[in-house]
Amino acid sequence: MGEQSEVTLSNRKVIRLRGYDYSQAGYYFITICVDGKRNLLGKIVHDHLNDDMHSPVGAATCRPLTELSWIGHIADVAIAKIPQIHPGVKIDKYVIMPNHIHMILIIEGTARRQIAAPTVSVQTVIGGMKRAVTIQTSLPVWQKSFHDHVIRDNADYQSIWKYIDENPIKWITDRYFAE
């Protein structure tokens, strides 16, 4: 008789902080990726945002930004609706990149679902936003999960805020970059 090989189910990497209650009040850095790193949400363009006619040379400065696709616009609306759907949950800052989204999500101590239920969790908020985009586009847009980081102090917050703000500027060197 030949040897039988043991069949094992592939184990998904545990991406949540073990034992942490993701429904408790706090600040969370969230990254949501498009499945397969496809640039479905838009493209990075350079926009002349600051035409400074008072400068010695009258030069305009360029700041890269994301020009949203129709899917990117749907995602933008879904993000904007999060505080309406989940009172006590706020989006402090976010950026939609061509193939991912970064955001700072705040769950206040009073975050409750609209029905009488326990405090809403990060997973519920992000899952609902992703579902809304998928339903409206009728496309499989997202990777299965999302990455989160519990923001622990003001220095961490400032660093993440800056990272989100500068993400379009650093697109070509971004780890999610794909042409």
129 by Cβ neighbours in 10 Å (0-12 / 13-18 / 19+) ranks as buried
Q: Is residue 120 part of a domain?
A: yes
* Alpha-carbon span 103 to 91, nearest angstrom: 7
Residue 74 domain-assigned (yes or no): yes
CA distance 57 to 114: 55
CATH code of the domain containing 110: 3.30.70.1290
CA angle 139/141/142 to nearest 5° reads 145
Residue 68 lies in a domain: yes
> What residue numbers bound the domain in which 162 lies?
26-173
Report the number of distinct structural domains present in the chain: 1
H or E stretch including 33?
A: strand 26-33
CA 156 to chain centre: 17
Give a yes or no: residue 13 inside a domain: no
In a domain, 179, yes or no: no
The answer to whether residue 178 sits within a structural domain is: no
Q: pLDDT tens-digit profile of 92-126?
A: 999 999 999 999 999 987 545 455 555 689 999 99
Residue 53 lies in a domain: yes
The helix/strand/coil state of 173 is: helix
What pLDDT does residue 174 have?
Answer: 77
In this prediction, residue 6 carries a pLDDT of 41
Q: Which residues of the chain have pLDDT under 50?
A: 1-12, 14, 50-59, 111, 113
With beta carbons less than 8 A apart as the criterion, state whether 105 and 28 touch: yes
In a domain, 7, yes or no: no
